[in-house]
Amino acid sequence: MIIPAIDLIDGKTVRLYQGDYQQKTNYQQTPEELVASYYEQGAQILHLVDLDGAKDSSKRQTTRLKEIISVAKMPVQVGGGVRCQQDVNDLLALGASRVVIGSLAIKEPELVKSWFGIYGKEKIVLALDVQISASGEKLLPTHGWINASDTTLESLLAFYGEDTVQHVLCTDISKDGTLTGSNDGLYQELKQQFPSITWQASGGIGNLDNINSVAQSGADGIILGRALLEGKFTLEEAIACWQNA
């Protein structure tokens, strides 16, 4: 499945390069324009990220998120700065179909694991951003990749359990925003190791060949941001490529 992404700062469409707020690109298209276009081209789900909320949860763009979700004719998964259960409740109340949880899933796994029992595994997406070490370990930094962590992807998923988690969005940090291709080997390895998890790949997609490669890696879906915004291909073309892979 192809999942178009919209990242927000000050209510406007942006992209960051490898998560760096100092390397921000602003785009002319409004989130509402993109939502309408993506729906018309066949998007079945939207990925919406509140980058202001991710940086400071007290600055969550609640009004803008609600406005965007309200015009979307497809389910919307929303992330950015989920720090407590009230944040989950608030995002679901705004109309989010799924809540994306990143750093907190690594820092407070017991707490986040309890939420799967409360909301069900369809309502939560774990966003696990991978920094691959020189020795090949899949380390999970937190808070927008600012804070290092010695937690590995495999150990965290072993803690949660495949019977608990359904959706995992996995980004190879070194690929994010680069348009240089995805880490296909990573997704192939993860799908073989955790086959019952629905894997959302993210980072590095610059052309249709990259999409074809991810589709063949075993990933269940792919997040597309910058490539769509910069017209490397249309969403319609991406969906056709994925389906024909």
Catalytic residues: 7, 129
Report the distance separating Cα 41 and Cα 206, nearest Å. 19
Q: Name the packing angle between helices 184-193 and 208-217 (round to 10°).
A: 20
Beta bridge partners of 98: 77
157 C-beta neighbours (distance < 10 Å), count: 19
Running DSSP on this structure, what letter comes out for residue 44? S
**Sequence-ordered list of residues with C-beta below 8 angstroms from that of 137, at least 6 positions apart, any chain:** 152
- Indicate the burial class of 142 (C-beta count within 10 angstroms; 0-12, 13-18, 19 or more): middle
Q: Name the packing angle between helices 153-160 and 109-119 (round to 10°).
A: 40
Report the distance separating Cα 65 and Cα 213, nearest Å. 32
* CA-based R_g, the chain, Å: 16
Report the distance separating Cα 173 and Cα 130, nearest Å. 6
Element (H, E) at 156: helix 153-160
